[in-house]
Structures are given as C-alpha cells and as structure tokens.
Amino acid sequence: MRQSSVSAPVPRKQTTAACWFPILMCWTLLVGAALGCPLFAQEKNPYAGDAKIAKVGEYQFRLNCAFCHGLGARGGGRGPDLTRAKRHGSSDAEIFHNIHDGIAGTAMPAATNGGIGVGMSDQEIWQVVTYIRSVEVKSPTRPAGNAAHGKELFNGAAGCSTCHMIAGKGGRLGPDLTTVGASRSTEYLVESMRTPSRRLAQGIFEAMKEFPQEYESVSVVTADGAKLSGVVLNEDQFTLQMLDTREQLHLFEKDKLRSLEKRRESAMPAYDQKTLSDKDLQDLIAYLQSIGGQ
Amino acid sequence: MKGGLNALKEKSRFLSRKTHGFGMTIGGHAGAALLIYVIGGGLSSMASAQVSSQRLLDSAKEPQNWLMYSGNYAGHRYSTLDQIKTSNAGLLVPKWAYQTMAGGKFETTPLVVEGVLYATGADDRAFALDARSGRPIWQYQRALPPDIRPCCGRVNRGLAILGDKVFLGTLDAHVIALDTKTGNVAWDVNTVGGSDYNRGYSITLAPLVVKNLVLIGVSGGEYGIRGFVDAYDAATGARKWRFYTVPAPGEPGHETWEGDSWKIGGAPAWITGTYDPATNTTFWTTGNPSPSNRGEGRAGDNLYSNSLLALDPDTGKLKWHFQFTKHDEHDYDATQVPVLVDDGDRHLIVQANRNGFFYVIDRASGKLLSATPYGRVTWSNSKDASGVPIERKEASPTLAGVPVCPGAIGATNWMSPTYDPQTKLFYVSAREQCDIFSTAPQPYEAGHAFYGSAYFPNDDAQPFWGAVRAIDPTTSQIKWEMKHLSPSWSGVLSTAGELVFTGDAEGNFMALDAATGKILWHFQCGASVYASPMTYAIDGQQYVAIAAGSTLFAFGLP
C-alpha cells in the first residue's frame, strides 16, 4: 500500500523524534536484554566489518536510501555521494544518528517510524551503516586538478561566481555551491557543467516542494508590457516567484501576466570543451571538492 | 430519565426528517431545533439526535449532515447542498480553522451531525468541534505503543458514527468506540491480539457502519501481514465476523499462492468500503500482495490481493470477487473507494484503479464490462479473454530496474473520487508519474518492511504532474481535465451547486466548474492537501471543509 513512502511531506518532527528515541531505546534495551539479542541502541556498530550483513544492508539501502543516494551509494541528483567523506559525521554512531533522526536543515529525513516510509528498525539502520562502510572509498584519490587554479577560474575567466555563490560570495541565480563538492559525485558535477540542462536540480518532496527550487528558466511579459527573464524560485497554479537575470525578485499572479513561458532548461550555458578545457574542468572540480568537504 | 431524553431525541429526528419533507435543502435543522426548543421547554436547542442505521440508509434526506466517510453508502462523495454554486463560488471565504498541532499528513474526512463535527488527526487523535465555529467540544488522543508499524505516516482518515458512538481504527490495530458527547472510550478491541500489531498490522481507514456493525479493514501490505475485513457489534465491540483476504488451505483461491507464501500474502483492505442496501452487499477493495514489487516466491494470481470483494455484511461471506491486477509486481493497490453508479437500469461499480485503468463492473455478478486507461499505462498492453488487462512480461521489475507507468504511487491512490448524479460524471485525482522498478530481494522478517523492491523516479523524465479528470462512466471517455502543477493527494467532492472541490500539492484548495473544470475560486492553505473534502450546513449556511497541514479549514459564503 505504499502511499507515498518517499514523496510524502516528511513530517519534520524534531520534537517527536526526540521524544520517541529514548522510549525506543529503553524498549530495545529491555527486549534486547531479555532475548539476549545484540543491543542496537548503542554507539558501536554490532555488525562492523561483517560482509554478509553489508550485503543485507545493501538491500536495505536500495529500499530506503537509493531513491536519493543512488544505487551503489554514489549519490544522484538528490542526495550526496556516500562513498566519500561525509559532511555530517563519519563515525558509525554519527551515521546511525543521521539516518535515525535525519539531519536538520537538509532534506535528509528521519528514517524511523513517523519519519519516512515504513520506518527502519535500529537493526536495519546498522545494516545500512555496515553497507556504507563497505563501499566507502578508503583513501580517496586527490582530485587530479589544481584547486587553486579552479578557484581563479570560478571567480574569474569561467564566470561561475556571476551566478553561483560559495561561502557567501557570488551570484544568486544559480544554486549555492558551497557544499556541492561533498554532496554530488564527480560525474554529476561534470554533467552539470557540460550539459546543465540534462538534469535540473531535483526536489525530493512534492509537498510544498519542500526542497523546491529546480532552477527552471522563465520568461514573462507583464501587464504593462515589460519583458523579464530569469529563474523560477517557486510557483503554484496561481502565482510565480522569480529572480530576473539582474537578481531582482518578482512576485506575480499568473492571471495578471500577459504571457508566461517556462522552460525546463537551465539558464546556465553549456560549458563545452571550447569554453572550458578538460583540464580547467578538472581544476574547477578540484576546487569544489576541496571546499565542499570542509 | 434516559428514556425521556431518548424520546426527545427520537422526536427531533422525526421532526428533522419531516421538515425536509417540505423540501428545504438546507436549514431544515434550524426548523427542527426551534421546534425542539418549544417542545422541550427550553432544553438545549442543539440536542443531538442519535444517528440510527436507518438514517445512514437515508443519508440523502439530510444533506446538512455528513454521516459517513464518502457521504453516502454508494461512495459518491456528492452533496445536494447548492447554496454555494458556480455563480457565487468566487466569494468563498474561510469561516474558521482548527489546528490539531500534529505533524505528518492530515488525511481526515470529518463527519457532521446536527452541528457537531467529528474528525481525526495524525497519531490517532479524534475530536469533536462546534461545526459553526471550529471550537472544540472534546479531544482524544490514543497512547500508542512505541513499536507500531504504520506504513507511510501515522495517519488516520476518519470516523464512522452510530447511536451515541463514533468509531476509530488505530495504528496499533485496535477498533475503539468513543462517546459522541465526551470522547470517552466506550469500548476498545484489539483486532490482532497481544502486541501482534508490531508484525505490521495497523488501521488507518474510516470504518463503515452497516446496520449495527462496524466494518473495518487492516493496513500492512508493506510488512507481509495476512489481510482481513472485520465486523464488530457497534454496541459492545464483539467481533461478528472476519473475512481473510488471503485464503487458507482448503479455501477457494488458496491455490493462487505458491507454497506458504499465503501466510504473509498481504492484501490489506485499507480504504473504506461501500454498501448496496438493495442487494445487502458491502464492497471492499484490497491492496498489494507481499512483497509488493517482487513476484518471485508467490507464483500465481495471489487472490484476493488487488481485488474488489462483494461481501454479505451480516456474515462476511464472499459473494463474488474481481481481481484488477493479478500477481501484482508494481504496488497497484486497488484501494480506491468502489463507487456504485446506476446508469439507466445498469447497476455498476466503477473504479479508477491505481494501475491506470478505469473499470466498469456489473454490481450483481462482478463481471467486468470494460477497462479503459485514464492515464499513461505501460505495464499492460493486452487483455485476457474476459477483458482483464494483464501484465507485460517486460514490465516485471529487475535488479537493474525497468521503467513502468504508472509509477509505484499509481495513476491515483487512496484519495476519494466523486460521482455527480447531476452531471453523470465521475471525477478523479489522477497522477502522471512513471518510475523505475528495481528488485531488492530480502527475506521475510516479522515487523520489518517487506517490499522486495525499490523504485526511483526516472532522471530523464519530465516532472511529474497531476490532473482532476472527469470521466463519463457510460463511455469511459475523459470529458475534461484540469491540470495540477504536480501530482495531488487531494480527493474530490462534487455538489449540486455544479461544483467540484479539490486541493493540490502546493497547498491550494479550489472550486471547479463541474461541467468544464474551470477554476472558479482558490485559497492557499499553507500546506499540501492530503485529504478529501466534504460539505455540510448549519442554519442555512453551507460549509466546505478540507484538512491541510495540521489544520482543518471550513469555507463558506460571507
């Protein structure tokens, strides 16, 4: 009967999670102790290094996590690549809690009951932690590119900072890229530069488009004939919130516009080999990855 | 003393009906209340008449009240109230809002009886409000154990009412009766015994009262439960019968399951059924077999998953069944309210199924009359000898994943459709979303999610969208559609004011022209709508109510 296991508006109930967790913990401890089962509400992974459990965890991962993090945990348009450094903590206990409680301020929901889908038990969460450990890149190869040169390109010749912000500096038309180096795979970053319109940023939750902005391009003609183009910030059946190319915010009632044209194309130009050589591309990625992991 | 009060209540009911006999569409209750006031010598003018089973049968006679989940036994979600109509819908304003302060999805359809509104909220809340002001009369919340296993949110869709009790199905698989005046628990029965709810049994639907019985079905198709429909004595809570939706050895249909797979076969009945008094038959629909997206290990048709069941409400005996999706591998639950439609002398059941087909079925025999796509369908491209769509082999999920339409959430889902006897159109909230279906083999373990599958949106796909579609049940053709920006989880209500009400994922609640689908009015609720609207009236004022976010809204003319 899966009604909306992933696209549900995630009940972002920090309070509930906080209330339930101790109860769940106590309950697990009691039952666990009585049955002589491994105790899951602990900070130590009871399955650490167990290859069989990692396989079970892979299926749990497919069921619960792959929708955003991709098959193989290599990330997708929605969730970070989990085979590399994790911004929100890398210890088993931290990963466990990130899954169990979600990560505030991000689209990562709590996986327990009341969170996403059918919920995951502590045991299943540890299985997934074991799986993530098994696919982790142990000693990540340093990006081939030159991060310092990448930074120069970003803020200079490549023009990235015209539309993208890093650590509070740059433009507003495109996504903030401060953490993108950690949250997206290299392949995704390459694709985003070479063919930015192939995949727009993807939301996770249809409800209120909680992770809403897909950076669709929009052109409107207002009632008094002014022509504007830019990116969609949000919209519904009746209204449009947009930034024009000069970063001016416009709020429209659609029925008062003379025309409205929306394109599922990125406002970003495609950086082909002529515009951005493979070497420069590598340098940019090295730069994004050097700051993203911090 | 009790007798005296009951006698008065009986009287008020009589008067109420009589007032309607004079042809007042709304405001009949005001007249009745005034008469009670005179007769009762100053007793409360809002003395609530008890809802008898006869009143449930005659719900059409009291359109000011909303007596059951779908408004009537036929599942029409239609009202003859016509104060709000196409010519004035644009003037609608919010009359009140009630906040449950709950998180999660708010899926309730309220009941209204004599000015009192009864509804439910997330985490098994229930409450009674003054339906004119939204002020609470009582509030109830069940203390739920920590190890419940609700799929898809800690939700509830509403109550049923009979006599002085409302009935609530709970997330720990109990059925409880609450006193209509106090919210006190009158009885509480555990449908599965002990703590077996933690094997995946829960109840999220609004019960259906037929005669003196409270009918419920169970959720849990994600956990490998064995589904059932139950009937409980409304007065005592004693179980009258149970119909298992997965047959045991020796029972017809058991041969459609491989080995012991029937024991964890799923087939939950998690949406409210309908009832045909003319033939004394109640109709229930069932969900996916378990595991939902992996057919390996459960070879066969897997009866009665994804089926329409015609049951005798007195005994629970199966009269006939119709299976929409055999051996389902795409989570195509049939849990959409089975709507009873009379088309001339044809007595039909129509259903816009999650699998993308609009089915027309003979109500007496269960024979399929037609199955026509009402959205994008790629899982089936052929039909068997009796016209039943069958799965394309290539649509079967694989480890690498295979794209199929509709996606896992379906061409529609549990949100209610509506049938408008005036326009003779069936309106449904349709979803255009395809998914990649991938298997994820997993062993069954009690109380653990048991999908056997994963699904993903297709990266290259256009954004998902939705629409309200008006379907003519005579021809199965779509007469109009009103596009939603993204797929909606809102049900649909139709009224004699030639209006259709619905909500969207961006938080709008809106009124459409029933003939054309044109949007006549809208209001931004501030949260996605995950509920089906209803309407009622008090003292000549018609209200339309919808749940969104954690708030119940009532709208009316200024």
DSSP per position, B220-259:
-TTTT-B-EEEEEETTT--EEEEEESSPPTTSTTGGGS-T
* Helices and strands in chain A: count of H runs, count of E runs: 9, 7
Domains A147-200+269-292 and A216-263 share a fold: no
Of A54-58, A146-150, B79-83, B223-227, where does mean pLDDT reach its minimum?
A54-58
DSSP-H helix ranges across A114-236 = 122-135, 147-155, 180-183, 186-194
Domain ranges of chain A: 14-135, 147-200+269-292, 216-263
- Closest C-alpha among B162, B210, B180, B131 to residue B51: B162
Domain ranges of chain B: 2-49, 204-336
pLDDT at position B41, please?
34
Nearest to A1 among B147, B154, B335 (CB): B335
* Cβ B433 vs Cβ B406: under 8 Å: yes
* Residue scoring higher pLDDT (A124 or B170): B170
The pLDDT-based confidence of B202 (bands split at 50, 70, 90) is very high
Q: Is A262 near chain B, with CB under 8 Å?
A: no
CB pairs under 8 A between A and B: 156
- Closest C-alpha among B330, B356, B287 to residue B437: B330
Q: Closest-CA residue in chain A for B464?
A: A206
Separation between Cα atoms, residue B544 and residue B270, nearest integer Å: 25
- Show which residues of B are catalytic: 331
Residue carrying the six token digits 């024979």: B367
Of A213-217, B245-249, B473-477, B515-519, where does mean pLDDT reach its minimum?
A213-217
The pLDDT-based confidence of A59 (bands split at 50, 70, 90) is confident
Can you tell me the ipTM of this complex? 0.85
Nearest to A62 among B292, B440, B524 (CB): B440
Task: State which CATH number among 1.10.10.10, 1.20.58.1910, 1.10.3470.10, 2.30.30.100 fits the domain covering A216-263.
Answer: 2.30.30.100
Q: Closest-CA residue in chain A for B104?
A: A11
For the cut 90, the answer to whether the pLDDT of residue B420 exceeds it is yes
pLDDT at position B7, please?
33
- Closest C-alpha among B418, B447, B458 to residue B200: B447
- Across the interface, do B453 and A63 touch by the CB < 8 Å criterion? yes
For strand A217-221 and strand A227-235, is the pairing parallel, antiparallel, or unpaired? antiparallel
Q: Interior CA angle at A250 toward A244 and A251, to 5°?
A: 145
* DSSP type of residue B109: B
As a whole number of Å, the end-to-end CA separation of chain B is 42
pLDDT at position B348, please?
98
Q: In one letter, which amino acid is B326?
A: K
A229 min Cα distance to partner chain B (Å):
20
Of A111-115, B5-9, B171-175, where does mean pLDDT reach its minimum?
B5-9
| Percent of all residues in chain A with a pLDDT value above 70, rounded to a whole number | 75
- Across the interface, do A1 and B152 touch by the CB < 8 Å criterion? yes
Task: State which CATH number among 3.90.1150.10, 3.40.50.10190, 3.40.50.300, 1.10.760.10 fits the domain covering A147-200+269-292.
Answer: 1.10.760.10
Task: State which CATH number among 2.40.10.480, 3.40.50.300, 3.30.1490.390, 2.40.50.140 fits the domain covering B204-336.
Answer: 2.40.10.480
Q: Which fold has domain A14-135?
A: Cytochrome Bc1 Complex; Chain D, domain 2 (1.10.760)
Backbone region of residue B436 per phi and psi (left: phi > 0; alpha: psi in -120 to 50; beta: other values):
beta
Q: How far is CA B497 from CA B82, B531, B547, in A?
A: 4, 21, 21
Q: Closest-CA residue in chain B for A70?
A: B456
- Across the interface, do A3 and B454 touch by the CB < 8 Å criterion? no
pLDDT at position B9, please?
34
Q: Spell out which residues of chain A touch residue B292, defining contact as CB-CB under 8 Å.
A: 2
Of A241-250, B132-141, B448-457, where does mean pLDDT reach its minimum?
B448-457
Neighbour count for residue A136 (Cβ, 10 Å)? 15
Of A39-48, A143-152, B144-153, B199-208, where does mean pLDDT reach its minimum?
A39-48
For the cut 80, the answer to whether the pLDDT of residue A73 exceeds it is yes
- Closest C-alpha among B414, B219, B227 to residue B336: B414
For the cut 90, the answer to whether the pLDDT of residue A71 exceeds it is no
* Cβ B397 vs Cβ B453: under 8 Å: yes
Q: How far is CA A239 from CA A226, A232, B30, B419, B524, in A?
A: 18, 11, 41, 30, 10
Q: Is A2 near chain B, with CB under 8 Å?
A: yes
Segment 176-205 of chain A within 8 Å of chain B by CB: 198-199, 202
B84 min Cα distance to partner chain A (Å):
22
- Across the interface, do B438 and A16 touch by the CB < 8 Å criterion? no
Nearest to A114 among B104, B447, B462 (CB): B104
Q: Residue B400: exposed, middle, or buried by beta-carbon count in 10 A (0-12, 13-18, 19+)?
A: exposed
* Cβ B309 vs Cβ B285: under 8 Å: yes
**B455 φ, ψ to 5°?**
-140, 150
pLDDT at position A203, please?
57
For the cut 90, the answer to whether the pLDDT of residue A76 exceeds it is no
- Across the interface, do B506 and A4 touch by the CB < 8 Å criterion? no
Q: Taking the model in full, what pTM does it have? A: 0.87
Q: In one letter, which amino acid is A228?
A: L
Q: Each residue of B469-487: b (16+ CB within 10 Å) or e? A: bbbebeebebbbbbebbbb
Q: Spell out which residues of chain B touch residue A13, defining contact as CB-CB under 8 Å.
A: 103-104
pLDDT at position A188, please?
85
Separation between Cα atoms, residue A288 and residue A190, nearest integer Å: 12
- In the predicted model, what is the mean pLDDT of residues B357-366? 98
A157 min Cα distance to partner chain B (Å):
31
Separation between Cα atoms, residue B345 and residue B342, nearest integer Å: 7
The pLDDT-based confidence of A87 (bands split at 50, 70, 90) is confident
- Closest C-alpha among A140, A159, A157, A126 to residue A56: A126
As a whole number of Å, the end-to-end CA separation of chain A is 41
